[in-house]
Amino acid sequence: MEQRTASRFGAGDERGAANLIDAAATLRGIAAAGNGRVVPLAMPILNNDRGAGVEMRAAPQHFMTRHGGDYAAGLPERAGYGFSDDVIMLPTHGATHIDALAHVWRDGTMYNGFRATDVTSRGAARCGIDKLGAVATRALFVDFGDDPDFAPDRAIHSADLEARIAAGGIAPEPGDALLIRTGWLRAWRAGAAGKNATAGLHHDCADWIVRSGIALVAADNIAVEVMPSRDPDCAMPLHIAVTRDNGVYLAELLDLEALASLAPRAVMLVIAPLAIKGGVGSPVTPVAIC
């Protein structure tokens, strides 16, 4: 696949493939929401528990700053009411999340030719998650999780992906998303998979993803792509090919088990990242409607 840094959406663009999610894409999503069944796709955020997240990121911390015990100890209710309050600290990529275009780069260059140095200790001056906004589009549900040849470190090649989508009978259109169930999350929960080897997309899927106009790829694993990488020269070749080179968004650590039980071919996918100014990712609670 040809490497490129200049965006097809013009110089200065910071939204990437999200530009493809137009009114027509959203209306396709609404049409896919046929029965109005709402399925949340986020994993739980647990205090001091990384869950399926990688060890390099801190576990979430959840603190109560006011609670019922304060009142039991003598704090009076004021103005006719009492209340509870809390604080949470967590990595933006530590739970179910979406990557900003500023999340990855190669040779010091990220999406659309912006420099890695545009990301500083103050955040991303370019391509931050605040540039994405809310996503509401059609997503094709592609399920490999129950395949007889499932392996917790399986590489899903482009031929596999294309054949499975063709079998579903719905051709992707520009602005669509993909929801990929690899089966890794279920295996991890069962103690049959680790975090250093995860089923996912092979980097040869990148060309088809871009040619098809896919705006976002989400999966039930740590990185969307297979780990360890099958490219000896790059640890995250799919990230580079789709996000850095073409502005396609990746969302990771989705729980697709409940959705798989419904076996939809397509759904309406709604994802709204937190409006973190300069953030390089955001926790999300994706919702599928089918």
Same-domain check for residues 156 and 70: no
CA angle 158, 34, 218 (to 5 degrees): 30
DSSP string for residues in 112-136? GG-BGGGEETTEESSS-GGGT--EE
Spatial distance between the Cα atoms of 146 and 260, rounded to a whole number of angstroms: 10
CATH code at position 170? 3.50.30.50
Same-domain check for residues 97 and 166: yes
How confident is the model at residue 3, as a pLDDT? Answer: 45
Spatial distance between the Cα atoms of 252 and 95, rounded to a whole number of angstroms: 8
Kindly give, in sequence order, each residue whose CB lies less than 8 Å from that of residue 271, ignoring residues fewer than 6 positions away: 98, 134, 135, 216, 218, 251, 284, 286, 287
Same-domain check for residues 76 and 177: no
Same-domain check for residues 65 and 36: no
Using pLDDT thresholds of 50, 70 and 90, give the confidence band for residue 5: low
Task: Tell me the mean pLDDT in the region 102-126.
Answer: 98
Same-domain check for residues 40 and 150: yes
Could you read off the pLDDT of 161-198 as tens digits, one per residue? 999 999 999 999 999 999 999 999 999 999 999 999 99
How confident is the model at residue 121, as a pLDDT? Answer: 98
How confident is the model at residue 79, as a pLDDT? Answer: 97
Fill in the amino acid letter for 92. T
Tell me the Ramachandran region of residue 175: left when phi exceeds 0, alpha when psi lies from -120 to 50, beta otherwise. Answer: left
Spatial distance between the Cα atoms of 186 and 146, rounded to a whole number of angstroms: 10
pTM check: above 0.85: yes
Is the residue at 113 inside a domain? yes
Is the residue at 8 inside a domain? no
The answer to whether 237 and 231 have CB atoms below 8 angstroms apart is yes
Between these two residues, 207 and 5, which has the higher pLDDT value? 207
Strand segments, DSSP code E, in the chain are 38-40, 61-66, 85-89, 97-99, 119-120, 123-124, 135-143, 155-156, 177-181, 200-201, 216-219, 249-252, 266-271, 281-283, 287-289
Whether residue 4 is predicted with pLDDT greater than 80 in this model: the reply is no
Is the residue at 233 inside a domain? yes
How confident is the model at residue 6, as a pLDDT? Answer: 80
Same-domain check for residues 23 and 76: no
Residue 245: which of 92, 114, 93 has the closest Cα? 114
Domain extent for 80: 60-90
